[in-house]
């Protein structure tokens, strides 16, 4: 849907701008000349504003607005809605976020080829990207593994061996990502109280959730040739991502890596958050919010 909307914005902007330009260069001068001739023949004063055709007037009205939206959405910031709980507790269903489109490079809005290099994902970033198995779908996950890293997920624990620079005499080994237990019971899934931990990914500190009983067998994971079933070596130009709700997220453990070309941008803020919780006997449609979570508005860790 986002791809089609981007294409529609480009088409409408181009069409309205072209109509305005052609009219300004070809038809507006002729209308003005005819009006002047008629005024001279009748001995009336000169009129500087001849009537403008409806389609031209519409193009003149919408072009600045559509062009502004196109530039804002394509190169600066784009709004997204969180539809699932895979990034809880960082992002909840009903959160509306802003994604910084230029964080990982300026791309054209249609073919998504990179025009300007502006940066690359860092460990701990919350990134939006085109789902590798279906680029028409936008996904949001946390960047855990960078190009060249070795990532291991074992017993609900993340281990990372950073890429080793060939110029270094000693390379760091596989090391567990530090986690600290916070509490249990704030979030419930399938009648089970989830465990909340604080995880440190480099300089980024954020919270994750674990299901105390659910354990995904390594045989269900994405299989990378030359590695174990719970181990992945991140290829160059690609990234390994995980959901913060670790036992309720389909991420790189299941479908592999995110190519740089699929990156959309970095999630930087929640601009509004709606609640959708309601009683079973409620007559309201499920898409109507039941409240606003003002305390969630702000930056994303």
Task: Cite the active site residues.
Answer: 86, 141
Nearest residue to 79 (alpha-carbon basis) of 94, 96, 67: 96
What are the helix (H) ranges across the chain?
Answer: 2-22, 28-42, 54-71, 252-255
Q: 150-164 b/e with 16+ CB inside 10 Å = b? A: bbbbeebebbbbbbe
Distance separating alpha carbons of residues 280 and 85, to the nearest angstrom? 20
Residues 6 or more apart in contact with residue 110 via CB below 8 angstroms:
6, 7, 10
Give the whole-angstrom CA distance, residue 118 versus residue 282. Answer: 48
Cis amide leading into 89 (omega within 30): yes
| CB distance 90 to 300 below 8 Å | yes
User: What is the spatial distance between Cα 253 and Cα 243, in angstroms, rounded to a whole number?
Assistant: 10
- Indicate if the alpha-carbon torsion angle 269, 130, 84, 217 is positive or negative: negative
Calculate the CA 194 to chain-centre distance: 26
What number of other Cβ atoms are within 10 A of residue 196's Cβ?
Answer: 19
CB 223 within 8 A of CB 215: no
């Amino acid at each position: 849907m986002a791809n089609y909307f981007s294409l529609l914005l480009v088409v409408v902007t181009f069409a309205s701008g072209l109509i305005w330009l052609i009219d300004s260069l070809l038809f507006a001068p002729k209308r003005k000349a005819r009006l002047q001739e008629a005024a001279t023949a009748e001995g009336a004063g000169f009129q500087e504003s001849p009537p403008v055709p409806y389609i031209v007037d519409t193009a003149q009205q919408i072009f600045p607005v559509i062009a502004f939206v196109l530039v804002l959405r394509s190169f600066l910031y784009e709004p997204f809605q969180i539809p699932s709980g895979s990034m809880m507790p960082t992002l909840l269903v009903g959160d509306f976020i802003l994604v910084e489109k230029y964080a990982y490079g300026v791309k054209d809005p249609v073919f998504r080829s990179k025009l300007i290099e502006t940066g690359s994902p860092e460990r701990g970033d919350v990134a939006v990207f085109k789902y590798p198995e279906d680029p028409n779908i936008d996904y949001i996950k946390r960047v855990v593994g960078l190009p060249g890293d070795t990532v291991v997920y074992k017993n609900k624990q993340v281990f990372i061996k950073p890429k080793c620079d060939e110029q270094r005499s000693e390379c760091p080994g596989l090391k567990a990502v530090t986690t600290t237990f916070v509490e249990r019971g704030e979030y419930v899934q399938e009648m089970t109280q989830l465990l909340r931990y604080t995880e440190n990914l480099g300089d980024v500190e954020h919270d994750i959730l674990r299901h105390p009983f659910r354990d995904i067998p390594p045989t269900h994971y994405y299989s990378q040739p030359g590695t174990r079933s719970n181990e992945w070596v991140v290829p160059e130009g690609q990234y390994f991502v995980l959901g913060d709700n670790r036992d309720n997220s389909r991420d790189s453990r299941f479908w592999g890596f995110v190519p740089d070309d699929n990156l959309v941008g970095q999630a930087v803020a929640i601009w509004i958050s709606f609640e959708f919780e309601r009683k079973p006997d409620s007559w309201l449609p499920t898409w109507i919010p039941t409240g606003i979570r003002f305390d969630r508005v702000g930056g994303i860790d």
